[in-house]
Amino acid sequence: MKKLYLVTGAAGHLGSSLIELLRKQGELVRGLILPGESAQKSPTVRFITGNLLDPHSLRALFEGCGDYETYVIHTAGVVDISEKLSRNTYAVNVLGTKAVLELCREFGVKRLVYVSSVHAIEEGLPGRVLQEIRKFSPGRVKGGYAKTKAAATQAVLDAAAQGLDAVVVHPSGILGPYEGDLQNTRISNYLVQMVDDYVHGRLPACVRGGYDFVDVRDVAQGCLLAAEKGRRGECYILSNRHYEIREVLELARRICGGRRLPVLPMWMAKTAAPLFEGIAKLRGDRPLYTGYSLYTLQSNDKFSHDKATRELGYLPRDLYETMADTLKYLSSR
């Protein structure tokens, strides 16, 4: 039976990378895009307009898939680095995921791959290596976004326990170029925005701290590996390694030039965060340094992708290649 891939969030950073990877492999694909988003179809890729806030609009994505071995890769979601939980973020990330689960059951899909986040995983003690867990609770993680991903992940695992063939992947901080015909004029990824702001002299300072950063193309490949080789009801961390923010910006400086930024200690960055947010709003930009994002840069990010490497064959690349390709993409916009 021929395979069919249904990809939600097809115009997003990860979704567009997945679409491009599947297109190159000659797979049949349906991508879900929001009203107002444009996409250039190809002989093997078709796009459906719908919205997770309107479950009925999602039915067109699933209808007529009975003649195929159907894999759903649910990447759609709201990434929010503010501290408070908004109604929209909860509705999209939690209720939208539950709507996708219902449709997967109704249409008898072969497998669902849910793209969660490492933020859904409880930090535990500082310095502890973080591995896959089996129970997720919004009360055990900090920040509105993390809470929605924890709640949605648990809903997916509950569905798997009830018989749905579902697998969860947890990407770390995603960086990398936008690929294919679904390149947005607006950069939706905060890390890519940080690099773009640095290149154009809009980043006032660097902060002391860092996180685990991974190439979007490696995450896309990891999603397909999970669809093919993952075990039902299992979670897989798709991480790379820890990089300081100053290391990331130094990579950009080495490749394309630019000035060295002052590195603010965290206490100073937290004090200046309201000022940074105000400057961003005056420019019509999204603030990068918020209370939650600064908290994240100090949090435990010792994520192990050993399980994904062992069971799926997942192998992330060095961030130098990621940065070079990101800068090439940004210069072509």
Task: State the pLDDT at residue 175.
Answer: 96
Among 108-122, 167-181, 223-237, 308-322, the minimum mean pLDDT is found in 167-181
| Cβ–Cβ < 8 Å for 210, 244 | yes
Q: Is residue 201 part of a domain?
A: yes
Task: State the pLDDT at residue 297.
Answer: 84
Q: Is residue 328 part of a domain?
A: no
Are 67 and 203 part of one and the same domain? no
Q: Rounded mean pLDDT of 102-129?
A: 94
Are 147 and 222 part of one and the same domain? yes
Q: Is residue 323 part of a domain?
A: no
| Cβ–Cβ < 8 Å for 236, 221 | no
Are 8 and 67 part of one and the same domain? yes
- The yes-or-no verdict on residue 59 having pLDDT over 90 is yes
Are 140 and 164 part of one and the same domain? yes
Are 59 and 109 part of one and the same domain? yes
Are 25 and 91 part of one and the same domain? yes
| Structural element, H or E, at residue 307 | helix 306-312
* Beta-carbon contacts of residue 236 (< 8 Å; ≥ 6 apart): 132, 167, 168, 169, 170, 222, 226, 230, 305, 307, 308, 311, 312, 314
Are 178 and 274 part of one and the same domain? no
Are 311 and 292 part of one and the same domain? no
| Structural element, H or E, at residue 253 | helix 245-256
Q: Is residue 329 part of a domain?
A: no
> Considering the entire predicted model, what is its pTM?
0.94
Pseudo-torsion of CA 75, 81, 83, 85, nearest 10°?
Answer: -30
Q: Is residue 326 part of a domain?
A: no
Q: Rounded mean pLDDT of 18-38?
A: 93
Confidence of residue 284 (pLDDT cuts 50, 70, 90): low
Cα separation, 293 vs 306, whole angstroms? 26
Task: State the pLDDT at residue 319.
Answer: 96
Task: State the pLDDT at residue 189.
Answer: 85
Q: Is residue 330 part of a domain?
A: no
* Beta-carbon contacts of residue 218 (< 8 Å; ≥ 6 apart): 238, 240, 314, 315, 316, 317
- Domain membership of residue 271 as a residue range: 190-207+245-296
Average pLDDT, the chain: 91
Instruction: Choose between 85 and 109: higher pLDDT.
Output: 109
Q: Is residue 52 part of a domain?
A: yes
Task: State the pLDDT at residue 181.
Answer: 58
Q: Is residue 325 part of a domain?
A: no
Q: Rounded mean pLDDT of 277-293?
A: 72
Instruction: Choose between 281 and 174: higher pLDDT.
Output: 174
Are 197 and 81 part of one and the same domain? no
Are 43 and 157 part of one and the same domain? yes
CATH code, domain with 310: 3.40.50.720
Are 105 and 203 part of one and the same domain? no
Per residue in 147-202, pLDDT (tens digit) is 999 999 999 999 999 999 999 999 999 999 998 655 445 677 888 989 998 898 88
Confidence of residue 279 (pLDDT cuts 50, 70, 90): low
**Number of domains observed in the structure of the chain:** 2
Per residue in 288-316, pLDDT (tens digit) is 777 778 788 888 899 999 999 999 999 99
CA distances from 294 to 2, 10, 120, 301 (A): 46, 29, 17, 13
Are 146 and 176 part of one and the same domain? yes
